[in-house]
Chain A
Amino acid sequence: MTVSTRNHRLRPAGAWFEKCGWKPFAFQKQAWKAHLEGKSLLIHSATGTGKTLAAWMGPLLDGLANPIDAESWTKVRGKPASPPLMALWVTPLRALAGDTLFSLEQATAGLELPWTIESRTGDTSAYIKQRQRQRLPTVLVTTPESLTLMLSYPESTEHFRFLRAIVIDEWHELLGSKRGVLLELALGRLRTMRPDLRLTGISATLGNLEQALEVLVGPGSDRPTEIIHGRTDKKMVLSAAIPKNMERFPWAGHLGTRMSAPVAQAINSAATSLVFANTRNQTELWYQQLLQSDPNLAGLLALHHGSLDAEVRRWVEDALRAEKLKAVVCTSSLDLGVDFSAVDQVIQIGSPKGIARLLQRAGRSGHQPGAVSRLLFVPTNALELIELAAARKMIQRGQLEAREPVDSPLDLLAQHLVTRGLASPYQRDEIWLELRRTFAFSKLSPEELDWVIAFAKHGGDSLSHYEDFKRLEENEDGTLQVTNPQTARRHRMSIGTIVSEVAIQVRYMTGKNIGTVEEGFISKIKPGDRFLLAGRLLEFVHLRDSIAWVKKSKGTPTTVPRWVGGRMPLSSQLSQGIREQIEATSNGVFDGVEMKAVRPILELQRRWSHLPKANELLIEQIRTREGYQLFFFPFEGRLVHEGLATIIAHRLSRHRKITFSMAANDYGFVLQSAIDPNVSFGEIQSLFSKEGLMDDITAGLNATEMAKRQFRETARIAGLIQVGYPGEKRSGRHLQASSDLIFDVFQEYDPSNLLLQQARKEVLRNQFEWERLQRTLDRIHQCELVCRNPLRPTPLAFALLVDRLRERLSTETLADRVRRMQADLERAADAK
């Protein structure tokens, strides 16, 4: 093929761009060329830089160059015939499907292709779904779950006969989650059906792009691939709101009401801002504070988070699009989605905990041509300024977090074996090959596969224990299949990986839905209690029919809803950056606005104790009113610290009669005891040994309780807990059991069940970042231990002390107590 022929094939795209008054970017043309050459791609680029068209024009151009014969077209009475299903566009958010559809339709019509485009997600009506089972459009915009569902029907082989290309949007979001594995399995199936399939993944910038591409196309694939680097030259301005009076003893949690004035100012100085907070609670509190700070914002300020009613959220999104709002206070609920062209500023409250996340959030602003992305960072405690300085450095170096792919989730495999068996019978060896070609199951052992097959067939490999159970059946020729219609129906209802928390609907007495809160919260409050939700103060009336009825109220909240989730730790990369920043300060270097602002704090830390270099581990022993405090500062993120605290406390109490209480944050952890633990230097070194690590962490905590909690997800995905469906007969109630109970029964009567093991493994990974914890111990081995005995709590120690107190004191008492402690320490700091 000569160069001119290739350019000739791109010409229709160029012509359409010209008509629209655009000019294609180099990376877009590169992507189109690569696709036409038959490659699978990973396109990564900053948001709003033309990724959609980079991914979509390729399949369109291919459609023009290699059309399908008219005799294979879908004929519909009364409508023009259209080509059969040729391309899929997979998106993680069903809410995005509508907007995506529009963009794809525009481009498709622009190239004058007679293609039909439809979406199919959980929101698609039953009527349309039924119609699609008969006749599919040329392009389908869908989600991983809906795609898996389609693959569960016998007619799927027929449906996908002409499939040529799949685009996977927001691949970085799916990678590293079980949903990503669900998609990997679907892609594996489709690759077997259609060996010439071309995949295009669209991703935000990641630290492991090659791996992200490998996971997409499957390991050992002989398909040519290419990574397309999009525009990364998007100009971005990162700044921080620096508090006027920097306290030298910062602590987390007092949301800095002092900061709401500068934030309100920033909102007023921009056209439209997105204000990101790390938890749903914080968004509610900030919303109130901003209105108090600047009452003129009323009507121009909105709230958006996952527990608000879907209608409310849609209203906010529409208002943003129509440029009716000045600012929206939100959580990660607005991380994905269509870029709102009105947004020209992002305000990030509190640390985003990761560099990639910081970049992505900043990238949500400045979509007008030539505009700049702007992010204003608002620290919730002074030490967070160090995090911004570190993030800046890492961005310059291009050191971003990787998204670790999930390894061998057996619960999902159990679900997949049944899904596969619904479509058509298959041999064990067939599926073995197909699985090994997916990244998630590339290391699956034959024994594990056999166990899961046995589980899906008759529940576990001890036949005698599971008489009467049948889900996957084995035919005479050895093929596996599901034919029971009831099994089929129940299974299709529960395809997926999303395990929802039990959410209680919150509704006005007049009938309007406001949002949801968790069952645990409702069970603890009494009628008359007041709490904030959706920006309003509500009074709890009563709980009836599983609905929490409320009415509008005045005054102040008496309680705070608590939602699970949102407490991410510092990423590995950002932690490293922070250690480097502190090392610089130990050499007297305070580079940049943020570091200059925290200088007084760090200088005091040095005076009273020490500023550690990157290859040092700082340990402080302090005696306070509360007892003997042993502080460790590995700067490795809260989860790893919680794990280390558990292990070290356990090891220390092995040869002493002593109990420890502990606290951990992203910078370090503390062990507190009533009597002096009298730890020698030599002993401290042995505390970080990797020997007996697993035993020590399981001994130190309630491993069973944690495994049970994790098992809830496993039980749901593997089909041990059935999702009820509408109109279910009463007999369905006989099959209800909690995952706790099932865990107990398994442990008692089938303890070698691999699902139990999986739950335990996942606890270690999710709760303690097990691999990262081990790497931390390796790193600490190379470190020099620096021990200090300051007379008073240092700035680094202070935050942890407050966390310990927080568990025992109420909010008001805590605030008072902290203020007094700070005053004492400030006086001491001024004296010396």
Chain B
Amino acid sequence: MKGYRLHIAETTLLLHPSGAAFWKEESTLFVADLHLGKSTTFRRGGIPIPAGSTTCTMDRLIDCIETLNASRLVVLGDLVHARCSWDKELQEGLARLSERLPKGNFLLVEGNHDLGSRSRWEDFSIERQVAPHPLGPWILLHDELTERPQASNDHRVYLAGHVHPAIKLRRFGETIRLRCFSLYNNCLTLAAFGSFTGAKTLDLSLGQQYFAIVDDEVISLT
């Protein structure tokens, strides 16, 4: 697995092929848009989507934490998919995750999909934060469009999710779509980490930097 070392905010972030961003300086792992329990929501809503993606996302996340030796986890919104996503699988998974982290080191910057589950966080020692939330050289958001302060002299870097960014590349009549991180105007938007998440293809524009996830690597494109 080969990530991309991004030098930013006078420190380094490792953009990991799983979709996470690791801040080595403080052993912190940033992820966004897990949408845990999404397939459960669909099944309860009458659409036969097979189970498996929630556990898969959880396994990948725990694997990431262990491989990178993270001691703090920050979720930039949409940890769960909906209020009706809660089932045994989800609860057990979150409990497993919570055990891995020292108490107080599991932060959630609430996203639009998390709103119905507010009463649950306590059970898993998840600390709820509201955007914009400062953390060292970063300002944490879920949705940059609605949560970023309009006029600000802040030189800190914004970290956000919500978008589920992807880019399309064309070659010899073939097109491929790749999940990516995007960096623009002092804001880094993370790829959606969850296994059962869609992605939004971004229009390529000047001044924007993209870090595409291609199999086991993260490649920088400008």
Do A720 and B48 touch (CB < 8 A)?
yes
Do B45 and A465 touch (CB < 8 A)?
no
Question: What chain A residues lie within 8 Å of B47 (beta carbons)?
Answer: 469, 719-720, 722, 735
Interface residues on A, range: 35 or more
Closest to A486 in B: B46
Among A465, A471, A490, max chain B CB count under 10 A is at A465
Q: Is A2 among interface residues, defined by CB-CB distance under 8 A?
A: no
Closest to A722 in B: B47
Q: Is B196 among interface residues, defined by CB-CB distance under 8 A?
A: yes
Closest to A753 in B: B50
- Bound Cα distance A78, B52 (Å): 62
- Bound Cα distance A741, B42 (Å): 13
A19-72 residues with Cβ-Cβ distance < 8 A to B are none
Question: What chain B residues lie within 8 Å of A702 (beta carbons)?
Answer: 174
Question: What chain A residues lie within 8 Å of B52 (beta carbons)?
Answer: 465, 745, 748-749
Do A737 and B43 touch (CB < 8 A)?
no
Closest to A750 in B: B50
Q: Is A612 among interface residues, defined by CB-CB distance under 8 A?
A: no
Q: Shortest beta-carbon distance, B144 to chain A, in Å?
A: 20
B147-196 residues with Cβ-Cβ distance < 8 A to A are 173-174, 195-196
Q: Is B198 among interface residues, defined by CB-CB distance under 8 A?
A: yes
Q: Contact flags (1/0) for B19-57 with A, using CB distance below 8 Å? A: 000000000000000000001111111111111110010
Q: Is B81 among interface residues, defined by CB-CB distance under 8 A?
A: yes
Question: What chain A residues lie within 8 Å of B39 (beta carbons)?
Answer: 745
Question: What chain A residues lie within 8 Å of B141 (beta carbons)?
Answer: none
Question: What chain B residues lie within 8 Å of A464 (beta carbons)?
Answer: 51
- Bound Cα distance A465, B42 (Å): 13
Among B40, B113, B198, max chain A CB count under 10 A is at B198
**Of B41, B50, B53, B56, which is within 8 A of A735 by CB?**
B41
Among B51, B56, B81, max chain A CB count under 10 A is at B51
Do B48 and A469 touch (CB < 8 A)?
yes
A787-822 residues with Cβ-Cβ distance < 8 A to B are 807
- Bound Cα distance A460, B39 (Å): 14
Do B50 and A741 touch (CB < 8 A)?
no
Do A469 and B81 touch (CB < 8 A)?
no
- Bound Cα distance A299, B175 (Å): 44
Tell me how many residue pairs across A and B have CB atoms closer than 8 Å: 85
A690-742 residues with Cβ-Cβ distance < 8 A to B are 702, 719-720, 722, 731, 734-735, 737-738, 740-742
Do A734 and B41 touch (CB < 8 A)?
yes
Q: Is A746 among interface residues, defined by CB-CB distance under 8 A?
A: yes
Do A735 and B45 touch (CB < 8 A)?
yes
Q: Shortest beta-carbon distance, A671 to chain B, in Å?
A: 15
Q: Is B70 among interface residues, defined by CB-CB distance under 8 A?
A: no
A460-477 residues with Cβ-Cβ distance < 8 A to B are 460, 462, 464-471
Closest to A418 in B: B46
Q: Is A326 among interface residues, defined by CB-CB distance under 8 A?
A: no
Do A745 and B44 touch (CB < 8 A)?
no
Do A466 and B87 touch (CB < 8 A)?
no
Q: A735-B41, A737-B198, A741-B198 are in contact. Are A467 and B46 (CB under 8 A)?
A: no
Do A468 and B50 touch (CB < 8 A)?
no
Q: Is A230 among interface residues, defined by CB-CB distance under 8 A?
A: no
Q: Shortest beta-carbon distance, A307 to chain B, in Å?
A: 24
Q: Contact flags (1/0) for A436-475 with B, using CB distance below 8 Å? A: 0000000000000000000100111010111111110000
B64-79 residues with Cβ-Cβ distance < 8 A to A are none
Question: What chain A residues lie within 8 Å of B13 (beta carbons)?
Answer: none
**Of A460, A490, A745, which is within 8 A of B46 by CB?**
A490
Do A471 and B50 touch (CB < 8 A)?
no
Question: What chain B residues lie within 8 Å of A734 (beta carbons)?
Answer: 41, 45, 81-82, 84, 113
Q: A702-B174, A745-B53 are in contact. Are A455 and B42 (CB under 8 A)?
A: no
A737-788 residues with Cβ-Cβ distance < 8 A to B are 737-738, 740-742, 745-746, 748-750, 753
**Of B46, B48, B196, which is within 8 A of A741 by CB?**
B196
Q: Is A487 among interface residues, defined by CB-CB distance under 8 A?
A: yes
- Bound Cα distance A471, B46 (Å): 6
Do B46 and A469 touch (CB < 8 A)?
yes
Do B53 and A469 touch (CB < 8 A)?
no
- Bound Cα distance A748, B53 (Å): 9
The 5 closest A-B pairs by CB, nearest first: A459-B48, A469-B43, A749-B52, A749-B50, A465-B50
Please report A residues at the B interface, Cβ cutoff 8 Å. 455, 458-460, 462, 464-471, 484, 486-487, 490, 702, 719-720, 722, 731, 734-735, 737-738, 740-742, 745-746, 748-750, 753, 807
Pull 14 A–B residue pairs with CB atoms less than 8 Å apart, ordered by A.
A462-B50, A465-B51, A467-B51, A471-B46, A487-B46, A490-B46, A722-B47, A735-B41, A735-B47, A737-B49, A737-B196, A741-B198, A745-B49, A745-B196
